[in-house]
Amino acid sequence: MALVHRKFVMSAILSRFARAYSTPVQEKDIRKSVFISQSKDIFTNLALEDWLYKNLDFTNHHVLMLWQNDPCVVIGRHQNPWLEANVPALGALTDQGVALARRNSGGGTVFHDQGNLNMTFFTSRNHYNRRYNLEVITRAIFREYGLKLEITPRDDLTLRNCKVSGTAAKLGRPSAYHHCTLLVNTNKVHLSEALQKSDVGIETNATKSTKSKILNLCEENPKIKVPALYKVVGWEYLRTHALSVKDGGMELANQQKGFQMVNPTEKWFPGIEEIRDNLQGWQWRFGKTPKFTISRSFTVPEHLISQDVPDDLKVTMVVEGGKISDVNLYVPPGLVANGFSGNVNVITSLIGHKFSEEALDNLEWSLGALGSDKDKFVTDCVKQVMQSV
């Protein structure tokens, strides 16, 4: 263990020197490794991914990381969790609850559990090639199971026009990675419940997910299991030439660095705990959400309104950096005339609070102190806006 640890630190140091030179890399000089993460925790695995991206030099060394997670929803870097996931329901969906994570790469929201395999392809930015990676996967599946997956123009893998894999990438300098999922026997009920979202009236320019029909590979061939895929995809990767999708057979595979079990702990990867803490923190998961507004209208009950013309109460909330920055109420004239005191202190006190739990707690507390039915109604509407997501 100590040996491996030293090896990682050494290569991290070496990489800094290596980056100073930029001689063109020949395909024959590139060696490949397959890393298998021993963690099933989404935050630890995302931290491992980030650690490798930041610390390894991929100029002459391409790496495929294979990993699995306990049930979780993973949103893209610039997405809105309240728009993409069933946030209030996640905790009770499975015994241990479904975690919500934000990754560093772009793209849309995915659901992971033990029936899903994740693959991360690390290269230098110059050798980043999503098509190459997807072809390696499709060739692996075809070689072992005789099953043909299609690669769509959006770089999804499909079978019978249903999506079996979602893709995303992060491009930096000097390194880049492309990661994708592969649905093998994921719990589809959990998946659809975790991602189920009714129209909650959110407006934003955050990246939106594209909804697709999905399929598990086991529905086509019940023999396909995730543990076997580690080997199937790993070997195919090792026997394929580094820059062109050309089979080099076992001869080439044996020249590679091979498989390595990786234990993503602080001892092996100094600094990984801090990365993990940041990924799990509120600031990254929710605070990073692009600015959005959420609006909803409520019918005012007849006994609260003085005139016959029915009118709606409209609540609009602006959320910046995950915190409420503004609340606007459209109060129908009938409600005002009938004694709504316009006590908006309750509403303005929400500003600056984290959306939505912290703000809800705050509202709950002040709701009890309100005397007037009208004030209670307005406050309750604001509460519902937040509870709906």
- Contact criterion met (CB below 8 Å) for 184 and 215: no
Stretch that binds other proteins, among 22-30, 35-43, 303-311, 331-339 (CB under 8 A): 22-30
Residue closer to other proteins (CB basis): 24 or 146: 24
DSSP state of 247: B
State yes or no: residue 213 binds other proteins (CB under 8 A).
no
| Strands of 110-112's sheet in order across | 99-102, 72-75, 110-112
Residue closer to other proteins (CB basis): 122 or 340: 122
Report the C-alpha gap between 289 and 294 in whole angstroms.
13
Of 108, 115, 234, 322, the residue at the interface with other proteins (CB under 8 A) is 108
- According to CB under 8 A, which residues from 306 to 325 bind other proteins? none
State yes or no: residue 353 binds other proteins (CB under 8 A).
no
DSSP state of 276: H
Residue closer to other proteins (CB basis): 73 or 386: 73
Length of the chain (residues): 389
Stretch that binds other proteins, among 70-78, 327-335, 353-361, 363-371 (CB under 8 A): 70-78
CA distances in angstroms from 307 to 303, 372, 380, listed in the order given = 10, 19, 22
State yes or no: residue 163 binds other proteins (CB under 8 A).
no
State yes or no: residue 23 binds other proteins (CB under 8 A).
yes
State yes or no: residue 57 binds other proteins (CB under 8 A).
no
How deeply is 80 buried, as exposed, middle or buried, from its count of CB atoms within 10 A (0-12, 13-18, 19+)? buried
> What SS3 state is found at 352?
coil
Of 15, 37, 80, 104, the residue at the interface with other proteins (CB under 8 A) is 104
Which amino acid is it at 41?
Answer: D
**Shortest Cβ distance from residue 178 to other proteins (Å)?**
8
The residues binding other proteins (CB under 8 A) are 21-24, 76-78, 104-108, 154-155, 167-173, 205-207, 290
